[in-house]
Amino acid sequence: MAAPSSPKPFSLAIVGGGIGGLCLANSLFRHNIPVHVYEAAPAFSEIGAGVGLSPNALEAMALQDSAILEGFKRCVTTKASPSESGRFFIFRYGMRKPSADGMIAGQMICEVRHGCETSSVHRARFLEELVKLMPEKAASFSKRLVGIEDKGEEVLLRFSDGTEARHHAVVGCDGIKSQVRKLLLGEGDRTREAVFSGKYCYRGLVPADKATEMLGEDLALNSQMYLGNHGHVLTTPIEQGKTVNVVATHTKEDGEWNEDRWVKPSTKEELLADFEGWSEPVKNILGLVERPDMWALFNHLPAATYHQRGKICLLGDAAHASTPHHGAGAGMAMEDSFILSKLLASIQSVGELENAFAAYDAVRRPRSQRLVTSSRRTGEIYDFEDEIIGDNMEAMREYLEHGWDWIWHEALNLQLGKAQAFLKKHRETALNYTSSL
């Protein structure tokens, strides 16, 4: 993509250098928009192992910047065999005891397909590819945000190390514990902090050769999800098939998380105890996880807005942190980045930032907040806790076969068109008001 001949007359601060923040930054650089990334950590880093990106995410990358998509392709893991392409997960009954309607351990409930090549990456590898696209001196590290002050045409960012920075606006890409979100929504807003979802998960990585020896190639190297009472276990290959990512989710009996840490070391014994009564394939794969970590699963309540007066805007988990049960959080951040970058590329002045942020909010907030609600319910369905579906396998199959349609098959260019129409309408309203003075 050829950059415009002159830079835009406004600069942006991006707080947070994860996948969402760097996708946005790289796209803005290619539109010749001055931008600087402020990362709280000493270097770029991603928490977690595998992340799956489905059709909507791949389309968002392609529409936003082909260089981002090419970077993704360099570290992608596809399915083990061509026949598996297009498959999201095989869902299986995970309990040792047969279900009420006769389903036995390991039996397939259904397979869910989305019709395009299914792929996943190791988060850190993908982030490395995004870092390679960044210009030199485009980021500052160990910059933990503590305050944002409106200075008229600019905003002043204050960091914990005593330094300051000035930009025309700031985009918060700083994750589920977002400081930008807290500052935007303000004290007293119950949606400013994430809430515990009632579930936690164990995460671990298993060498693919060990998983294959234990389970066979089909189960080990193609994505499986085992569903059962108050829990579910998924396995998916990452790192180009060298490693199997294992995630075992369980419901917390009291529904509360009272620890400050959201991630803590666990033990194989604790993990296996939570999945007592599950089938042999599940117990076997969990037995290969040597040093599991326990992750509390939090999500955001729906905020009333993602922006503030052309000064602050939220993207990705900072805006709409979700539980992982749809596997769509990263994809939603990609969509956010696509829409916001295109809107910002289309404006020509500082005064238009507010309308660009408002247009972004108008199209992104309803869809992304739907994901948060739907993902939480999907976790309950996986764990046989949904009040309507329970452990009715036929009803569960019906839900699973169509539960991702609205996520995967979004017309992103149409969504962008709606945002651009919103922006145009507000631009014309402002022009008409000015000409009437």
Task: Give the HSE-up count for residue 412: Cα atoms under 13 Å, Cβ half-sphere.
Answer: 23
Rounded alpha-carbon distances, angstroms, from residue 432 to 26, 64, 137, 429, 437: 35, 32, 42, 5, 9
Nearest-10 crossing angle of helices 329-345, 412-436: 40
Catalytic residues: 203
Within 10 angstroms of residue 32's Cβ, the number of other Cβ atoms is 15
- Token digits for 380? 């309950």
- For residues 279 and 105, the answer to whether their CB atoms sit within 8 Å is yes
